Amino acid sequence: MATFQQFAQTCQALSQTQSRLQMAEVAGGFLAQLDLDQAEAAARFMIGRALPVGDEARLNLSGRAVWRVAAELTGAADRGEDIFAEAVDFGDAVEIVMRLRDTEPAPTLSIAEVAARMREIAAAQGRHARRRKLDLLRGLFIRATALEAKYLAKILIREMRHGMSEGVMLDAIAYATGAPIADVRRINMMQGDPGRVLRVLRGDAAAPQSGGLAMRPLKPMLAQPADTVADAFAMLGPELALEHKLDGARVQIHGAAGHIRIFSRRLNEITPSLPEIAELMAARIPNRSFIFDGEVVAVDRQGNPLAFQELMRRFRRIREVERLREQSPVRLFLFDVLGLDDELLIDREYRDRFAILQQTAHAAGLELAGRCLPANLNEGEQFYAAARAAGYEGVMAKRLDSRYSPGVRGRGWLKIKGARTLDLVIVAADWGYGRRHGWLSNYHLAARSGAADQFAEVGKTFKGLTDDQFREMTERLLALKTAQRGGTVYVRPAVVVEVAYSDIQRSPQYECGMALRFARIVRLREDKIPADADSIESIGREFERQILRTPPQPG
């Protein structure tokens, strides 16, 4: 049995390694020595996932709760501020506090035991769930060395991502199993979880590579932005469909013999937040297995769509779902089918998938997103104008012959939105003054830049949040703090916000040479991770287009 201490030491070595190749070798070498169950858990732990994709939401432990359990064990509950000021990150703070104990226990935890405890913490639901979760957590921390506690904390709050991206983990799995990296990536598209990828590659018969609908989430297919319907025709060719772009939450709905599981865009299971959708699907398609892709929208009592924020309340207040179900009903619109009757359909063309979707949804009385097959650009533009006039966010353009590529932002789907906004990542924040004293309230916004996990600043804003949101954001960012210089707190990139702006300016202030003017946060994108943010390249392209659009200044 490999000890959790060995795992923690490997992570420590990884955190001191810069080269991607070396990281893959260190991590892959460690995984290769473990039996399959422990390797599966360790692969997840290394990228900061406590549980298989889809199950994590059930852990339901905040950074604050984790900190309190550690601090109370060492009688240092009132020293948080000093320790956080000294620590480089959350895991470091937990390690420092755990070193205050008089004696350190010998390392006895195994990787398998830690994995089992994580499952138990997630399984604790219903009355007294919170107390049970905290007891289990305390049980783990009592037995942990300070180094083990550091990595337990990092896994629990998903801080590991920073050190080990999913991409490096796939390289490590290729190294550990000897499989070609292209195969590892393809299997990951299907499985969406490095632990399961290892299982498939090590030849575990219980893990299907394809075929059979296993009720496990697939990564959703993503779209690239396009400015106009004419651009979409130029990029996709004339063989395309246009669909209403609904402003709600992406859902992937799995069903088998009336048993339903619903997953979010980030592959968390959200069935408990959407009981009426689960009931609807179970009632309408009771005897078949299926995977549908669609959007859930909050609606008023007349069934008219409401703002996205309304829907997000559902996901945050899981305990109040029954009340919210009455107050803010939801409506489901399907737009794709990824599997039906035990057959995976993702390699079929979209035109065929849509035909199957239409027939199935029609027979079951389920709604589809509004759609048209434009015969020419003019018809396409009319559909777009009508969609905007009806209040939709825009339209999606989809190539009729495109396959469903899980997790890929390819050339199959384009999103055409009216107002241009960018999805950016908060990488730092300034302490506010005056009315905003005590809050981290001026946010440094960054776009993806080159390699995975790299971000470049393009602007700052303190506009767009309510007082409550400032308070919540301050707490969230402090848990992600990596350093502080002057009045600026630097944080691990984790929070994605949608930002509106007036235009892009040339700017020597930022390394990328561009800055957003009059940036304002439109909404928090809880459904997105930093890898989904817009890139410096796409902002650069937008900057060029803006120059083309601007008439020359007289004189």
Q: Under the rule (CB under 6 A), what is the footprint of ligand AMP?
A: 223, 243-246, 250, 265, 295, 335, 369, 396, 415
CB of 170 to ligand AMP, least distance (A): 23
CB-based contacts of 397, cutoff 8 Å, min separation 6:
226, 229, 232, 236, 240, 241, 242, 380, 413, 414, 415, 416
> Measured between alpha carbons, how far is 413 from 353 in angstroms, rounded to an integer?
14
The smaller minimum CB distance to ligand AMP, of residues 244 and 481, is found at: 244
Q: Are 426 and 495 in contact (CB under 8 A)?
A: yes
Residue pair 474/462 in contact (Cβ under 8 Å)? The answer is no
Chain centroid to CA 520 = 22
CA dist 251 and 260 (Å) reads 12
Closest contact distance (angstroms) between CB of 332 and ligand AMP is 12
What 3-state class would DSSP assign to 76?
coil
Least Å from the CB of residue 102 to ligand AMP = 52
Closest CA to 423 of 516, 310, 296, 544: 516
For ligand AMP, the closer CB: 77 or 222:
222
Q: Is 539 helix (H, G, I), strand (E, B) or coil?
A: helix
Cα separation, 337 vs 366, whole angstroms: 13
Pairing of strands 409-417, 222-226: parallel
Q: How far is the CB of 423 from ligand AMP (least distance, A)?
A: 7
| Least Cβ distance, residue 387 to ligand AMP (angstroms) | 10
Antiparallel, parallel or unpaired: β 259-263 and 455-461: unpaired
- Closest to ligand AMP by CB, 48 vs 339, is 339
Q: Which is nearer to ligand AMP, 396 or 480 (CB)?
A: 396
> At closest approach, how far in Å is the CB of 57 from ligand AMP?
18
* Residue written as token pair 């060029």: 544
Residue 245 known to be catalytic: yes
Question: Helix, strand, coil proportions of the chain in percent (round to 5)?
Answer: 45, 25, 35
Find out whether 86 and 54 touch, Cβ atoms under 8 Å. Answer: no
Sign, CA dihedral 303-306-310-312, equals positive
- Strand blocks (E) in 62-149: none
Closest CB to ligand AMP among residues 45, 354 = 354
**Shortest approach of ligand AMP to residue 200 CB, angstroms?**
26
Are 33 and 2 spatial neighbours (Cβ–Cβ below 8 Å)? yes
What gap in Å lies between CA 348 and CA 401, rounded to an integer? 8
Neighbouring CB atoms inside 10 A of 143's CB total 18
Which of residues 89 and 243 has its CB atom nearest to ligand AMP in the complex?
243
DSSP state of 437: B
Catalytic-role residue among 133, 219, 245, 460: 245
- Catalytic amino acids? 245
